[in-house]
Amino acid sequence: MEKIFLVSLLVLLVSASAHGIAENIYDDIAMLGELEDLKLEEENEIQEKVFEIPGWTSERGGKTLFNVDSFGAIGDGIADDTQAFVSAWDKACLTTKSVFLVPAGGRYLVNATRFRGPCADRLIIQIDGTIVAPGEPNNWDPNNPRTWLQFSKLNAVIFQGSGVIDGSGSKWWDASCKRNKSNPCRGAPTALTIDSSSAVRVKDLTIQNSQQMHFVISHSDSVRVSNVLVSAPGTSPNTDGIHITGSTNVVLQDCKIGTGDDCISIVNASSAIRMKKIYCGPGHGISIGSLGKDNSIGIVTKVVLDTALLRQTTNGLRIKTWQGGSGYVRSVRFENVRMDEVENPIIIDQFYCDSPKACKNQTSAVEISQIMYRNISGTTTSQKAMKFACSDTVPCNRIVLSNINLERKDGTVETYCNSATGFGIGNVQPSADCLNSSNKDTHSDHDQTKDAHLIKFSREEIIHTEL
Ligand SMILES: *[C@@H]1O[C@H](CO)[C@@H](O)[C@H](O)[C@H]1NC(C)=O
Ligand SMILES: *[C@@H]1O[C@H](CO)[C@@H](O)[C@H](O)[C@H]1NC(C)=O
Ligand SMILES: *[C@@H]1O[C@H](CO)[C@@H](O)[C@H](O)[C@H]1NC(C)=O
Ligand SMILES: *[C@@H]1O[C@H](CO)[C@@H](O)[C@H](O)[C@H]1NC(C)=O
Ligand SMILES: *[C@@H]1O[C@H](CO)[C@@H](O)[C@H](O)[C@H]1NC(C)=O
Ligand SMILES: *[C@@H]1O[C@H](CO)[C@@H](O)[C@H](O)[C@H]1NC(C)=O
């Protein structure tokens, strides 16, 4: 199957390059090879990287338990349990094979707290109860304006449990300038942050109603998140689900995310990010970016999304960059994605402007190339089911579309291109012909008969290739 796909692409590339569509066929073949190689790491590989502990209840290994209740936590949702958490953490962190336990049944009110490592080996953070944030923005700790529960400098730890991390965000949402223009635009805390850490496993937790972003993975390596549920109302402003920044080798698997902003956002200095079996909705979709704000450098490479369902989201698969930025987004593959009533199922937006003031067009931009969309189908609510809105001065290139089928209940759909090149293979609906010209003049009809002939020729080659 995979082989046939590659061979058929090669055939298309040969025909395309023969009349100057692809500038350098060897580069393109290498690029497709690279995209094919972007495989999800097997469950076991990462598990091994973290360490082989099935769960803290297992008798093996003689773990020491640090239950927050034993450190004075009340867990009634009213008493301030911050100090109990800090004391339990300090002890757990110093002890080898320990379990920091938030027991089931309790509702623990905890202020903004930094849980710092490094810790002794084999720490498990077991959250079975509910941790809630104080809900009043006016009383928030001014020393931690952007974080609530922040974990940093950890190596080889597991966060797990059937518990809930609840940001009590409703008053923060009301105070947002997105909700009420007369409010000042201020940042709000992220519910859970894992920063400057490596070999981290996060599983089974629920993170909900965050003040702003729900779960940030920053400056970390080898992080695997599975079976995590993220939930907030579709109307809550800037409540991204999982946000990845400055991180490498991150796997998100079997996650269900519904929020008022991006379900997943991947930003600067992130590479080797794999997402598998993701449910998204409501929300703004799965995004790379935004990148390049305030003329900054943005670099994101090697991202794979395999198997996702997006339901009633504003965007599906999105890459968003600001005018005036620099850097690049390269080697991205989105595949096996089902869309249900998504406004912009496939979108590259190099004119992103999330600001009260209009943004000017600039000559510099974050360069976008080697982006593959494969087996993407479902329904859209807008006419422009695919949008490739790229910078006039820094075009998007090597966009590959394969087996795309996007439809609208009442109306036709089309593809919009500005300064984007690439090609389609197999069934691509709506047609992406506007990609194959090398400039924004999408309707020039030069060499059309020759093109048609070459395409027909290559289709026959594909059919006759037996592998
Ligand atoms: C938690 O925050 C409240 C409100 O700012 C404050 O009164 C209380 O002292 C804080 N608790 C701790 C343990 O710092
Ligand atoms: C918007 O915020 C202002 C000032 O905080 C407040 O007076 C006003 O009632 C708010 N408007 C709405 C619609 O909530
Ligand atoms: C993006 O990451 C690069 C390093 O990879 C750094 O030089 C640059 O300053 C970062 N950009 C922003 C906006 O932080
Ligand atoms: C295409 O994607 C859909 C939705 O994820 C999936 O059910 C289907 O098996 C995929 N088809 C192929 C040929 O992989
Ligand atoms: C920026 O350029 C794009 C593409 O040429 C164009 O559609 C858009 O109107 C321009 N925006 C501004 C603010 O000039
Ligand atoms: C390229 O564009 C032309 C004209 O829009 C179209 O007829 C042709 O099928 C396109 N070729 C490919 C490979 O998409």
Q: Is residue 438 within 6 Å of ligand 4 at its C-beta?
A: no
The atom number, within ligand 5, closest to the CA of 351 reads: 1
Residue 277 lies in a domain: no
Q: Check residue 57 and give its pLDDT.
A: 56
Q: Please compute, for residue 322, the number of CA atoms within 13 A of its CA located in the half-sphere on the CB side.
A: 19
Judgement on whether residues 203 and 158 belong to the same structural domain of the protein: yes
Judgement on whether residues 31 and 64 belong to the same structural domain of the protein: no
Residue 199 lies in a domain: yes
Judgement on whether residues 258 and 329 belong to the same structural domain of the protein: no
The atom number, within ligand 6, closest to the CA of 442 reads: 5
Rounded distance between C-alpha atoms, residue 100 and residue 97, angstroms: 10
What is the average pLDDT across 272-285? 98
Q: What is the CATH number of the domain that holds 425?
A: 2.160.20.10
Q: What are the structure tokens assigned to 11, written together?
A: 């055939």
Pocket test for ligand 5, best of 361, 363, 391, 393 (most atoms within 8 A of CB): 361
Judgement on whether residues 10 and 82 belong to the same structural domain of the protein: no
Residue 90 lies in a domain: yes
Judgement on whether residues 56 and 31 belong to the same structural domain of the protein: no
Residue 47 lies in a domain: no
Is 90 exceeded by the pLDDT of residue 144?
yes
Residue 57 lies in a domain: yes
Active-site position among 284, 443, 446, 453: 284
- Angstrom CA distances, 224 to 56, 156, 158, 254, 328, stand at 18, 11, 10, 11, 25
Judgement on whether residues 321 and 206 belong to the same structural domain of the protein: no
Q: Check residue 436 and give its pLDDT.
A: 73
Residue 353 lies in a domain: yes
Judgement on whether residues 198 and 319 belong to the same structural domain of the protein: no
Q: Check residue 440 and give its pLDDT.
A: 37
Judgement on whether residues 33 and 56 belong to the same structural domain of the protein: no
Last residue of a domain, one of 262, 294, 312: 262
User: In which domain, by residue range, is 123 found?
Assistant: 52-262
Burial class (CB in 10 A: 0-12, 13-18, 19+), 59: exposed
Three-state secondary structure along the chain?
A: CHHHHHHHHHHHHHHHHHCCCCCCHHHHHHHHHHHHHCCCCCHHHHHHHHCCCCCCCCCCCCCEEEEHHHHCCCCEEEEECHHHHHHHHHHHHHCCCEEEEECCCCEEECCCEEEECCCCCCEEEEECCEEECCCCHHHCCCCCCCEEEEEECCEEEEEECCCEEECCCHHHHHCCCCCCCCCCCCCCCEEEEEECCEEEEEECCEEECCCCCCEEEECCEEEEEECCEEECCCCCCCCCCEEEECCEEEEEEEEEEECCCCCEEECCCEEEEEEEEEEECCCCCEEEEEECHHHCEEEEEEEEEEEEEEECCCEEEEEEECCCCEEEEEEEEEEEEEEEEECEEEEEECCCCCCCCCCCCCCCCCEEEEEEEEEEEEEECCCEEEEEECCCCCCEEEEEEEEEEEEECCECCEEEEECEEEEEEEEEECCCHHHHCCCCCCCCCCCHHHHHHHHHHHHHHHHHCCC
Given a contact cutoff of 8 angstroms between Cβ atoms, the answer to whether 252 and 242 are in contact is: yes
Total-model pTM: 0.87
Instruction: Evaluate the CA torsion angle 310, 311, 317, 323 in order and state its sign.
Output: negative
**Nearest CA owner, ligand 5 atom 6:** 361
Q: Check residue 350 and give its pLDDT.
A: 98
What does the buried/exposed string (b/e) look like for 108-134 if buried means 16 or more CB atoms within 10 Å of the residue's CB?
Answer: bbbbbbebbbebeebbbbbbbbbbbbb
Is 50 exceeded by the pLDDT of residue 169?
yes
Judgement on whether residues 315 and 257 belong to the same structural domain of the protein: no
Is 50 exceeded by the pLDDT of residue 20?
no
Is 90 exceeded by the pLDDT of residue 37?
no
Judgement on whether residues 314 and 368 belong to the same structural domain of the protein: yes
> Is 284 considered catalytic here?
yes
Residue 270 lies in a domain: no
Pocket test for ligand 2, best of 172, 176, 180, 185 (most atoms within 8 A of CB): 180
Last residue of a domain, one of 262, 296, 328: 262
Sheet bearing 113-116, strands edge to edge: 113-116, 147-152, 190-195, 215-218, 242-245, 264-266, 286-291, 315-321, 344-349, 384-389, 414-418
Is 70 exceeded by the pLDDT of residue 85?
yes
Rounded distance between C-alpha atoms, residue 187 and residue 182, angstroms: 15
Last residue of a domain, one of 205, 230, 262: 262
Pocket test for ligand 3, best of 248, 297, 321 (most atoms within 8 A of CB): 297
Q: What is the mean pLDDT of the chain?
A: 87
Q: Which among 380, 377, 382, 391 has a CA at the least distance from the CA of 349?
A: 391
Judgement on whether residues 56 and 147 belong to the same structural domain of the protein: yes
Q: Check residue 98 and give its pLDDT.
A: 96
What is the per-residue pLDDT across 361-404, written as a single tens digit (0 to 9) for each?
A: 999 999 999 999 999 999 999 999 999 999 999 999 999 999 99
What is the per-residue pLDDT across 453-463, written as a single tens digit (0 to 9) for each?
A: 333 333 333 33
pLDDT range class, residue 23, cuts 50, 70, 90 = very low
Is 70 exceeded by the pLDDT of residue 451?
no
Residue ranges lining ligand 1, Cβ < 6 Å:
80, 82-83, 111, 139
Judgement on whether residues 5 and 69 belong to the same structural domain of the protein: no
**Nearest CA owner, ligand 2 atom 7:** 182
Q: Is residue 451 within 6 Å of ligand 6 at its C-beta?
A: yes
What is the per-residue pLDDT across 221-270, written as a single tens digit (0 to 9) for each?
A: 999 999 999 999 999 999 999 999 999 999 999 999 999 999 999 999 99
pLDDT range class, residue 356, cuts 50, 70, 90 = confident
Is 60 exceeded by the pLDDT of residue 18?
no
Q: Is residue 87 within 6 Å of ligand 4 at its C-beta?
A: no
Q: Check residue 14 and give its pLDDT.
A: 44
Residue 268 lies in a domain: no
Q: How many domains does the chain have?
A: 3
